[in-house]
Structures are given as C-alpha cells and as structure tokens.
Amino acid sequence: MERRHPNRKKAELRLLLAVDQVVTTAQLERWGLLNAATWLDLPRVTRTCRTRVTQSESDLDLTFVALEPAVLAQAPRELMHLCGLAEARRGRVLLPGERWQHVHLKGRRKAHQPDAEIVQLLDPARRSDWSVELDTGYAVGRIAQKMEAACEAGYTRILWATTIHGRTRSVLDQATRLQRQGHLPDLVRIETQFVNFWSSGDPYLDRPRCHKPVALSRAFTAAGG
C-alpha cells in the first residue's frame, strides 16, 4: 500500500474539496484520506440519506466532510449529489486540456443544466465539452429529457453517473435508441458509470454473482449513425 506523507495527504484533501466541496467519510477511508480530515479538524455532519431514491432499503447514515461548515448546511439530497459527482470525477481520468467544473445555476433553470461539465480547453468552439449528470433514480422519461437538453445546450458528449448499478447498461441502451431515432443528433459519445459514495470497502471489485458492468461507453457518428 502506498504510504503518503501527512502533509501530502492534507494538501491532496484540500485540493479535492476545493473542487468537490463535500465527500463522505466512507469515500475518504477508501481513498486513504480519512486521517487527513482528522488532522485538519474539518467540520462534519451525519445525516440519514436514501442513496437510491427508488429503493427504501438504501437508507443509510452518512457522515459528510467539507472545508467549511456552511457547505454542510445543505439538504441531504444536495450533499449526496456532490458526493456522487466527486466519485464520478475520481473515476474519470481527464485527458490533456480537460477541466472538470460544477455548473452553477446563476438564475438558470436546473431542468436544462447538467450537474457538472468537462470542458475541453483546447477546443475554443466548445464542441468537445461533456455534460455530466448524476442519476439517483430518474424516471425513464426524465432521463431522455436530460439527454436531449444536454445536446440542445451544445454538449456532444455525456457522462452519466448513477447510483443504481443496473443503469450503467440501461441508460447506455436508452441513449443509443434516442440517438438512432434522431433525438440526439449531435451526440458523439456517452459514458455511463456506477458511483458508490457510501461504502468504505472497494465497491468496484469483481463480485462472482454480479455481472453488471461498473462503466460502459459508446461512440456514435453524427445524426444517428
């Protein structure tokens, strides 16, 4: 196991929270950074949360960690959303020129905005940007609306993170149908990713009785190719 100096761990955690804002102690334990939160005496709060909104058995007590107490004053749903995005960011290796950033509404309607975006700084036309969405239990129709809104906003790539394991494939298949039917004419790539921000053990290791993929991707040609 890699041994990191305490100062390195503290610096890594500060940088992480500067982008992600909040994570769970389960995530920090898995990433080897829980002790850094203790050394920094970071604020924490524990809330009972439903990690998959369609599954009542997914209620758990989660402890959230942030740099500032004000961040932790948000509703559990918002805290979980940020943690899910943090998990997605950690699982998505950025390419040269790419930058991950949260989308701030500034008066815009959330229905038409992604949760985050991956901006390709080497593309001034912004035609290589990714829309990032966290799905904890959207209805099928809502998934289609979100994808169509992303393409209408100019995104040509979608990263769909979900807390529901089976949706790594079902959402990919839904996007494929929509693209071939002409509803997502400019979509050139979709990636789906299962995210788990509530387990301290590695939830992504192979499990003999689980055949659901953790991540999938598909590329398209323009206009339903």
| Ordered per-residue pLDDT tens for the chain, 225 residues | 457 788 999 999 999 999 999 999 999 999 999 999 999 999 999 999 887 776 666 788 999 999 999 999 999 999 999 999 999 999 999 988 999 999 875 544 455 689 999 999 988 888 899 999 999 889 999 999 999 999 999 999 999 999 999 999 999 999 999 999 999 999 999 999 999 999 998 888 766 556 689 999 999 986 544
Q: Which residues contact 137 (CB under 8 A, 6 or more apart)?
A: 52, 53, 54, 55, 163, 164
Phi, psi at residue 99, to the nearest 5°? Answer: -135, 130
In a domain, 119, yes or no: yes
62 lies in the same domain as 98: no
108 lies in the same domain as 81: no
In a domain, 1, yes or no: no
Specify the pLDDT at position 55.
64
pTM of this prediction? Answer: 0.90
In a domain, 225, yes or no: no
85 lies in the same domain as 106: no
Give CA separation, 35 vs 26, 29, 40, 61, 135, in Å: 12, 8, 9, 20, 30
Specify the pLDDT at position 25.
98
Are residues 190 and 175 in contact, defined by beta-carbon separation less than 8 angstroms?
Answer: yes
197 lies in the same domain as 100: yes
List residues bridging with 101 in a β-sheet. 117
Are residues 90 and 20 in contact, defined by beta-carbon separation less than 8 angstroms?
Answer: no
41 lies in the same domain as 130: no
Nearest to 197 by CA among 33, 87, 60, 53: 87
In a domain, 108, yes or no: yes
Specify the pLDDT at position 107.
46
194 lies in the same domain as 148: yes
Q: b vs e for 107-137, b when ≥16 Cβ sit within 10 Å of the residue's Cβ?
A: eeeeeebbbbbbbbeeeeeeebbbbbbbbbb
Q: End of a domain among 89, 106, 139?
A: 89
209 lies in the same domain as 111: yes
Q: End of a domain among 89, 118, 133?
A: 89
Q: Please count the structural domains in the chain.
A: 2
In a domain, 184, yes or no: yes
155 lies in the same domain as 196: yes
Q: End of a domain among 89, 117, 137?
A: 89
Own/partner pairs for 180-187, CB < 8 Å, 24+ apart? Answer: 180/224, 181/224, 182/223, 182/224, 183/144, 183/147, 183/148, 184/147, 184/148, 184/151, 185/151, 185/222, 185/223, 185/224, 186/151, 186/156, 186/222, 186/223, 187/147, 187/151, 187/156, 187/157, 187/158, 187/220
205 lies in the same domain as 127: yes
Q: Which residues contact 74 (CB under 8 A, 6 or more apart)?
A: 22, 82
118 lies in the same domain as 162: yes
d(CA 200, CA 176): 33
In a domain, 16, yes or no: yes
In a domain, 50, yes or no: yes
80 lies in the same domain as 127: no
Q: Which domain holds residue 140?
A: 94-219
Are residues 217 and 188 in contact, defined by beta-carbon separation less than 8 angstroms?
Answer: no
Specify the pLDDT at position 59.
82
In a domain, 224, yes or no: no
119 lies in the same domain as 82: no
